[in-house]
Amino acid sequence: MSPATQDFYETLGVKKSASTDDIKKAYRKLARKHHPDLNPGDKSAEKRFKEINEAYEVLSDSKKKTEYDQFGTSAFNGSQGFGAGGFGGGGAEDIFSDLFGNFRHEQSSLKGADLATQLDISLEEAYNGVTKSITLTREVQCKTCSGTGAESSNTCSSCKGSGSVKQSRGIFRLSQPCPACRGRGRIITKSCKTCRGNGSTVATETIKVKIPPGANTGSRVKLRGMGGIGSQGSPSGDLYIELTVKPHPMFKRDGNHIYVEVPVTIVEAILGGKIKVPTLDGPVTMTLPPGTDSGKKFRLKGKGIPNKKTGISGDEFALIKIVVPKKVSKKAKAALEEIEKAYKE
Q: What is the CATH number of the domain that holds 143?
A: 2.60.260.20
Final residue belonging to a domain, choices 61, 88, 108: 108
- Establish if 29 belongs to a structural domain: yes
Do both 99 and 176 map to the same domain? Answer: no
Q: With 0-12 CB in 10 A as exposed, 13-18 as middle and 19+ as buried, what is 92?
A: buried
CATH of the domain at 56: 1.10.287.110
- Establish if 1 belongs to a structural domain: no
Do both 132 and 234 map to the same domain? Answer: yes
- Establish if 36 belongs to a structural domain: yes
Do both 157 and 241 map to the same domain? Answer: yes
Nearest to 294 by CA among 313, 256, 312, 268: 268
Going residue by residue through the chain, which has 345 residues, state the pLDDT in tens, using 9 for 90 and above.
555 567 888 989 999 888 888 888 888 888 888 877 677 778 888 888 888 888 888 888 888 888 888 877 766 654 444 443 444 444 454 555 555 554 444 444 567 888 999 999 999 999 999 999 999 888 888 888 888 788 888 888 888 888 888 766 554 567 777 877 777 788 888 888 888 888 888 889 899 999 999 999 999 999 998 888 877 667 888 999 999 999 999 999 999 999 999 999 988 999 999 999 999 999 999 999 999 999 999 999 999 999 988 889 999 999 999 998 888 898 988 888 887 887 766
- Establish if 3 belongs to a structural domain: no
Q: What is the pTM of this model?
A: 0.57
Tell me, what's the pLDDT at 87? 42
Tell me, what's the pLDDT at 235? 82
Do both 104 and 189 map to the same domain? Answer: no
Do both 119 and 97 map to the same domain? Answer: no
- Establish if 138 belongs to a structural domain: yes
- Establish if 198 belongs to a structural domain: yes
Residue 37 is part of which domain span? 8-108
Do both 260 and 293 map to the same domain? Answer: yes
- Establish if 72 belongs to a structural domain: yes
- Would you call 221 helix, strand, or coil by DSSP? strand
Cα separation, 132 vs 53, in Å, equals: 55
Cα separation, 58 vs 88, in Å, equals: 9
Do both 83 and 170 map to the same domain? Answer: no
Do both 203 and 144 map to the same domain? Answer: yes
Final residue belonging to a domain, choices 213, 245, 277: 245
Nearest to 223 by CA among 157, 133, 304: 133
**What is the tally of structural domains in the chain?**
3
Tell me, what's the pLDDT at 105? 46
Do both 122 and 96 map to the same domain? Answer: no
Q: With 0-12 CB in 10 A as exposed, 13-18 as middle and 19+ as buried, what is 67?
A: middle
Do both 151 and 198 map to the same domain? Answer: yes
Do both 119 and 177 map to the same domain? Answer: yes
- Residue-wise burial string across 232-243, b where 16 or more C-beta atoms lie within 10 A, e elsewhere: beeebbbbbbeb
- Establish if 2 belongs to a structural domain: no
Tell me, what's the pLDDT at 261? 97
Do both 241 and 296 map to the same domain? Answer: no
Cα separation, 98 vs 247, in Å, equals: 50
Eight-class DSSP state of 310: T
Final residue belonging to a domain, choices 88, 108, 128: 108
Cα separation, 28 vs 99, in Å, equals: 7
Strand partners, 211: 130
